[in-house]
Amino acid sequence: MNIESLRLVDYRNYKEIDISFCKDLNIIYGENAQGKTNILESIFLCASGRSHRTSKDSELIRFDKKSYYIKLKYEKQNRSSQIEIMYEADQKKKIKVNEIPIKKLGNLMGNLNVIIFSPEDLLVIKEGPSGRRRFIDITISQLRPAYFYDLQQYSKILAQRNTLLKEIQKKRSLTDTLDIWNCKLANTGARIMKVRHEFIARLNKFVEINHDRLAGGKEKLCIKYVPAVKTSLYEIYDIEKSFKNELERSLAREMIKPTTATGIQRDDYDIFLNDVSLKQFGSQGQQRTAILSVKMAEMDILREETGEFPILLLDDVMSELDDIRQQYLIKNMENVQTFITCTNIDLFKKIDDRRKIMYNINAGN
């Protein structure tokens, strides 16, 4: 899979720009605040329907303008395709794939597969669980659009259940109606939990291989799924039952604090190195190696599943990695279309000119 070209109109600091890309390494360099990340962001947006930096589309419109437009042409399994995104302030975002409007965001997923790696990812191990859930959810959603749809459904049900809990505080007789929402939440939540569990098991195989190569096989890296609902994760029926039971047990707590006390919105992942939690004890170097191994493992899975490597977006991470990890990353970029942003191009001078194109970005030009 590779991106052929990108057109941006009134997107961030770009007035109007058309860029063609090469199939190997695209190096986007320039000083700070020139628009390098904005390019990667627009590519990520075409893959997932949302920015990796903000949930507000209005922030993406060029200052003082009313709309933005993106057109991305790509090749997948030897077929040319295109994705277009149009957004006008205060309106619903319009997305087209090969000129056909997409009704649900979930239908965009899986067309263009990308893996994005940015400095914030390096913090994911030590920071809060929401970042870790997002980290994993993005990749699963690309592989399983139905999973993304379930996530959206779940958050709607959750919001409705939370509203009901607040109403119950004023009117206790409503408590009986909670059961319907418990069933809905447990049903959708159980599907999500099962996919999370299976994905992590699969990811671990590749994580171990990548980490061995990167760290010399001295320590074993393993991700553990830590669901908020304690249950056996093999049968959907068991998960759903445990989920419902747990909700019923939480009722007393929820009467005091009217918000859903358990569920996938409280799930977490922990990363272990030889059975020691990196969250608690990992050095910075160990965490970086771990995150890089997970990113590379995600690439392997997408490759295994789709038959093609996803597109790799590296936002400013090179300077954050030491020499060994930089070389590992560069080696892994072979046969993968890669977009790198950086301020210093020294590292890439050695790479054959036939394998790369350099783009100097200066104030949106």
Binding-site residue ranges for ATP? 30-37
Q: What tokens were used for 355?
A: 């394998």
Pairing between β-strand 311-315 and β-strand 114-117 as defined by DSSP bridges: parallel
3-state secondary structure of 4: strand
Phi, psi of 12 (to 5 degrees): 50, -125
Stretch that binds Mg ion, among 34-42, 134-142, 166-174, 289-297 (CB under 5 A): 34-42
Tell me, residue by residue from 61 to 80, as one string, x for binding to ligand ATP by CB under 6 A and - for no binding: xxx-----------------
Q: Map the footprint of ligand ATP across residues 318-357, applying CB under 6 A.
A: 341, 343
191 binds, among ligand ATP, Mg ion, none (CB under 5 to 8 A by kind): none
Q: Which of 2, 13, 51, 160 binds ligand ATP (CB under 6 A)?
A: 13
Cα dihedral 124/32/39/65 (nearest 10)? 110
What is d(CA 11, CA 5) in angstroms, rounded to the nearest whole number? 15
Is 190 within 8 Å of 285 (Cβ atoms)?
no
Provide φ and ψ at 342, rounded to 5°: -160, 165
161 binds ligand ATP (CB under 6 A): no
Closer CB to ligand ATP, residue 59 or residue 304?
59
Q: Which residue number is nearest to Mg ion in terms of Cβ?
A: 37
Q: Given the rule CB under 5 A, which of 28-36, 74-82, 227-235, 253-261 is the region that contacts Mg ion?
A: 28-36
In whole angstroms, give the CA distance from residue 1 to residue 38.
21
Residue whose C-alpha is closest to residue 244's, from 231, 254, 259 = 231
**Of the candidates 206, 211, 194, 197, the residue with the CA atom closest to the CA atom of residue 301:** 206
CB of 63 vs ligand ATP, minimal distance in Å: 4
Query: Rounded to whole angstroms, how far apart are CA atoms 104 and 48?
Result: 11
Residues 300-319, mask of contacts with ligand ATP (x by CB under 6 A): ----------------x---
* Phi, psi (rounded to 5 degrees) for 151: -60, -45
Q: Does 210 bind Mg ion (CB under 5 A)?
A: no
- Tell me which of 5, 16, 33, 360 binds ligand ATP, using CB under 6 A: 33
Annotated binding site: 30-37
Q: Does 188 bind Mg ion (CB under 5 A)?
A: no
Q: How many CA atoms lie within 13 A of 149 on its CB side?
A: 11
Task: State yes or no: residue 242 binds ligand ATP (CB under 6 A).
Answer: no
Query: Is the CB of residue 288 less than 8 Å from the CB of residue 314?
Result: no
**290 and 273 Cβ atoms separated by less than 8 Å:** yes
171, β-bridge pairs: none
Residue 48, contacted partner among Mg ion, ligand ATP, none, CB below 5-8 A by kind = none
343 binds, among ligand ATP, Mg ion, none (CB under 5 to 8 A by kind): ligand ATP
For position 59 contacting ligand ATP by CB under 6 A, the verdict is yes
CA distance 167 to 12: 42
Q: Which does 182 bind (CB under 5 to 8 A by kind): ligand ATP, Mg ion, none?
A: none
Confirm or reject binding of residue 265 to ligand ATP (CB under 6 A): no
CB of 33 to ligand ATP, least distance (A): 4
Q: Kindly list the residues in this chain that would bind Mg ion in the complex (CB under 5 A).
A: 36-37
Q: Kindly list the residues in this chain that would bind ligand ATP in the complex (CB under 6 A).
A: 12-13, 30, 32-38, 59, 61-63, 316, 341, 343
